[in-house]
Structure 1
Amino acid sequence: MSRWATMNFALSAHIGFRYWRARKANAFASFITFFAVSGILLGVAALIIVSSVMNGLEGQLKQRILGAVPQLTVNSEQALTHWHANVAELKTLPGVLAATPSIATQAMVQSPSNISAIQVYGIYPEYEKVLEGKMQGVLNAHFSQLIPGKYRIILGSELARRLDVSIGEKVRVLSAEGVVYSPFGPVPSQRKFVVAGIFEMGSQVDASLAYVHYEDAQRLMRQPPGEIKHLRLYLADPFNAESLSSEVTNLFKRQGIEVTTSDWRDTYGHLFSAVKMEKNMMSLMLSLIIAVAAFNIVSALVMMVVDKTTDVAVLKTQGLSTANVMGIFIFQGSLNAIIGLVLGLIIGVGLTLNLNTMMNSVGISILGAGQSLPVQIEWSQMSWIVIGTLVITFCATLYPAFRAAKVQPATALRYE
């Protein structure tokens, strides 16, 4: 930027700041400006608070649900005879934390008092260390209880409550796979299992999930012992499962093995889609507050232009260019936006970081007694809020600034 352009910008900023300080001469314009700044402040603060809470809820669902179910599953029609080597190769893919043998079946679990539909996962406890870490030790004490041939099962807390069973009691598991046909019709495969543990994730998986040993699951499903056709993958970010699917398929294809993949979206994708849609709609609604505040900036600047028409005409007769005149009012409107934005950021971040403390102090508990709202501030999201606010408010200043630049000195000063 040349020295002359810099001086002109400095002049426009100086005059705009003088007008901004002197705006009290027009009480109504000052009133509208105050509400414009307040609207931007409230909109930005509300966006930060709501977005952070929604991010926290999404992250909590991600941890509580996706930490307990297969994030990406490899399915093969033929047995994986060298699955240890396959696991080692899968771990070399970016974003893959671990891969373990797994088998799953839909089943019914029955107790003396109730019956419920569940998803049963057969696992090798010794290979599930990654899962234990993701679940923060919820299953650490339980997985060791899964011993092949003992027919032990780990149930979710809500499932155990519905069945009215506790540790040490027996339940009957009936699997749709392994059905045999008798003269009386199809007979489902069934076995009695002893409840060896009860886990609680604080999500809907507590009502629909159960773990048994891999070999016990094979016997339940009447499959050949030791045969491994499925591998479950644990990912650094489960939301990358779709992009990793093709890489996993190509890895096996190079070895001459045809596999298919499935991921968590098949069973829980609708839930996360609903959360994402709700987050987007809330952001859109709160963004309207900023848009309304931007219209208030337009109103305040238009009144300022009308009030300063004579001043603008005098400045133009003294050689002030059209761009400089526009710069005066763009600077004035942008200053109001920046003040509201900075105050909104300070208040929004401050309230977000102390949200649970403030709610506890006034005795408000949204999620129930003893539970706090999950809060997760994403700085990339914050940057979009800042950029979006600045763009909207800058666009709002263009029309009043253009009106001011169109002032004709001869017409404005005719009766002066």
Structure 2
Amino acid sequence: MNFGFSFFVGYRYWRAKKANAFASFITLFAVSGIFLGVAALIIVSSVMNGLEGQLKQRILGAVPQLTLVNPQGFENWQQDTQILIDDVNLTHSIKGMTPSTSTQAMLQSNANLGAAQVIGVFPELENGLSSIVDHSYSDAFNSLKAGDYHIVLGSQLARNLQVRTGDKIRLLSSEGVVYSPLGPVPSQRKFVVAGVFEMGSQVDASVAYVHYEDAKRLMRKNPQVIDELRVYLTDPFDVERISSDIVSLLESQQLPVETKDWRADFGHLFSAVKMEKNMMSLMLSLIVAVAAFNIVSALVMMVVDKTTDVAVLKTQGLTTSAVMNIFIVQGSLNALLGLGLGTVVGVILTLNVNEILNTLGVSILGAGQSLPVQLSISQLTIIVLGTLLITLVATIYPALRAARVEPANALRYE
């Protein structure tokens, strides 16, 4: 007896009309549970991936992802940058590097006060790297020039300060403090609002950009010294490995550096999003698990119903493993039916979720906004393989029970 015979019998049992109506209902319930669970897992995980990707773009595209700090300054930062980009372990991880500096400052307008992280950059070096360039109005970012003391504010920060383009605001920096007989006096200077940027995230209320040299003068530091390099990463979530590789490589070049990255300010936010995504996946996976238990119930009923058939087959030489395979095939076909339908429907709904919501007149994020959706092939593979594994394990107990049928006892009263 080979697997082909077991498959044939298992398929016939699966296709045959069930004598026990309750067993048929349990089977339908199990297939429906797998179908709904898989479809929901695909849709929800894709939407959560999209939300996470949108957060990554809107937040990590506006703030320094990784910063290299050398208090003595980088004497030739272009050469140091090239060393890192050319390294085989980093060439695909680093998009680019530019000089940068930042300070926490208080911003004062005629109407209000606000606090923000003020970042000093060379605008001409940021094109193609920083998301701010593409999200600033009227090309305000590229209008930053050394000595003009212009500033680009986040849209929410500008609204809080009640300022618009052309207005003057005063910046007070915590760095560059001088001491007078009246006590410590912070460094301060007036800046002209050159424009605003809007990323659609919380950075709009807490970040401002100025020219690198203007920021250095505000902090009472030498504008000719480059002591920080801003690193743009292909995947900001891989920052831990990349920073370790960078430190090791630069130390081998006798250039000790310190690193700081986005996790210090925004790590808690992305950790919360990741935990929420994992919890949602866990909750939806329970639907699949419940459906797998229903497969167990349906197969146990089938074993009881087919006890006489199994006994006859065993008297004709059917092996224990062949009997197990019959019921494993039957349970697996139910699982494959639910999994196949769930995968197809889940993928179709995921790719068309915004069109479906618009047709139904439902707006989850508000008028004019669509759900960000990112279908991950790797996650889809994990969902499919995980469901197959769970349902395959669920068929083992009923199959073992069928294999233990003793022909003499089963046929005694037949």
Q: Please give the range of the TM-score, normalised by the shorter of the 2 chains.
A: over 0.9
| Displacement of 1:411 | 0.1
Give, in whole Å, the separation in 1 of the partners of 2:331 and 2:142.
66
Give, in whole Å, the separation in 2 of the partners of 1:111 and 1:91.
42
Answering whether residue 46 of structure 2 is matched by residue 52 of structure 1, we say yes
After superposition, where does 1:241-390 map in structure 2 within 5 Å?
A: 241-390=239-388
Seen in structure 2, the aligned counterparts of structure 1 residues 89 and 268 have a Cα distance that, compared at 3 Å, is same
| Displacement of 1:70 | 1.0
Counterpart of 1:88 (choices 82, 85, 89) is 82
| Displacement of 1:262 | 1.0
Letter in 2 for 1:283: S
After superposition, where does 1:395-414 map in structure 2 within 5 Å?
A: 395-414=393-412
Answering whether residue 60 of structure 2 is matched by residue 63 of structure 1, we say no
- Do the aligned partners of 1:61 and 1:203 also contact (CA within 8 Å) in 2? yes
Letter in 1 for 2:245: E
| Displacement of 1:131 | 2.6
- Do the aligned partners of 2:126 and 2:133 also contact (CA within 8 Å) in 1? no
| Displacement of 1:364 | 1.1
Residue deviations 1:29-84 (CA, integer Å, cap 9, x gap): 00000000000000000000000000000100111111111111100110211112
Give, in whole Å, the separation in 1 of the partners of 2:33 and 2:290.
7
| Displacement of 1:101 | 0.3
Structure 2 alignment gaps of length 5 or more: none
| Displacement of 1:130 | 2.9
Give, in whole Å, the separation in 1 of the partners of 2:304 and 2:288.
25
| Displacement of 1:257 | 2.1
| Displacement of 1:97 | 1.2
- Do the aligned partners of 1:130 and 1:234 also contact (CA within 8 Å) in 2? no
Q: Give the TM-score normalised by the residue count of structure 2.
A: 0.97
- Do the aligned partners of 1:101 and 1:123 also contact (CA within 8 Å) in 2? yes
After superposition, where does 1:98-177 map in structure 2 within 5 Å?
A: 98-132=96-130, 134-135=131-132, 137-139=134-136, 141-177=139-175
Give, in whole Å, the separation in 2 of the partners of 1:86 and 1:129.
20
Residue deviations 1:239-291 (CA, integer Å, cap 9, x gap): 11110112211222123222101111111111111111110010000000000
Answering whether residue 184 of structure 2 is matched by residue 190 of structure 1, we say no
Give, in whole Å, the separation in 1 of the partners of 2:113 and 2:201.
20
Seen in structure 2, the aligned counterparts of structure 1 residues 67 and 369 have a Cα distance that, compared at 3 Å, is same
- Do the aligned partners of 1:64 and 1:135 also contact (CA within 8 Å) in 2? no
Q: Partner of 1:3 in structure 2?
A: none
Letter in 2 for 1:15: V
| Displacement of 1:135 | 4.9
Seen in structure 2, the aligned counterparts of structure 1 residues 402 and 23 have a Cα distance that, compared at 3 Å, is farther
Answering whether residue 23 of structure 2 is matched by residue 29 of structure 1, we say yes
| Displacement of 1:143 | 2.1
Q: Partner of 2:202 in structure 1?
A: 204
| Displacement of 1:352 | 0.5
Seen in structure 2, the aligned counterparts of structure 1 residues 43 and 136 have a Cα distance that, compared at 3 Å, is farther
| Displacement of 1:413 | 0.3
Residue deviations 1:305-363 (CA, integer Å, cap 9, x gap): 00000010000001100001000100000000000000000110011111001111111
Residue deviations 1:113-163 (CA, integer Å, cap 9, x gap): 11111000000111111334x457224812221011111000001111111
Q: Give the TM-score normalised by the residue count of structure 1.
A: 0.96
Give, in whole Å, the separation in 2 of the partners of 1:168 and 1:260.
38
Give, in whole Å, the separation in 2 of the partners of 1:15 and 1:256.
72
Give, in whole Å, the separation in 2 of the partners of 1:323 and 1:300.
20
Decide which moves more: 90-99 or 168-177. 90-99
Give, in whole Å, the separation in 1 of the partners of 2:133 and 2:312.
71
Percent identical among aligned pairs is 67
Give, in whole Å, the separation in 2 of the partners of 1:15 and 1:254.
68
Q: How many residues align?
A: 409
Residue deviations 1:2-32 (CA, integer Å, cap 9, x gap): xxxxx62111111111111124322110000
- Do the aligned partners of 2:212 and 2:223 also contact (CA within 8 Å) in 1? no
Seen in structure 2, the aligned counterparts of structure 1 residues 23 and 394 have a Cα distance that, compared at 3 Å, is farther
Decide which moves more: 372-381 or 238-247. 238-247
- Do the aligned partners of 2:132 and 2:197 also contact (CA within 8 Å) in 1? no
Structure 1 alignment gaps of length 5 or more: 1-6
Give, in whole Å, the separation in 1 of the partners of 2:251 and 2:83.
13
Secondary structure of the residue aligned to 2:18 is: helix
Residue deviations 1:153-179 (CA, integer Å, cap 9, x gap): 000011111111111111111100001
Give, in whole Å, the separation in 1 of the partners of 2:381 and 2:133.
32
Secondary structure of the residue aligned to 2:231 is: strand
Letter in 1 for 2:151: I
Give, in whole Å, the separation in 2 of the partners of 1:34 and 1:136.
55
Seen in structure 2, the aligned counterparts of structure 1 residues 110 and 49 have a Cα distance that, compared at 3 Å, is same
- Do the aligned partners of 1:178 and 1:189 also contact (CA within 8 Å) in 2? yes
Give, in whole Å, the separation in 2 of the partners of 1:73 and 1:343.
48
After superposition, where does 1:219-238 map in structure 2 within 5 Å?
A: 219-238=217-236
Secondary structure of the residue aligned to 1:91 is: helix
Give, in whole Å, the separation in 1 of the partners of 2:121 and 2:402.
73
Secondary structure of the residue aligned to 2:375 is: coil
Give, in whole Å, the separation in 1 of the partners of 2:248 and 2:177.
34
Answering whether residue 32 of structure 2 is matched by residue 38 of structure 1, we say yes
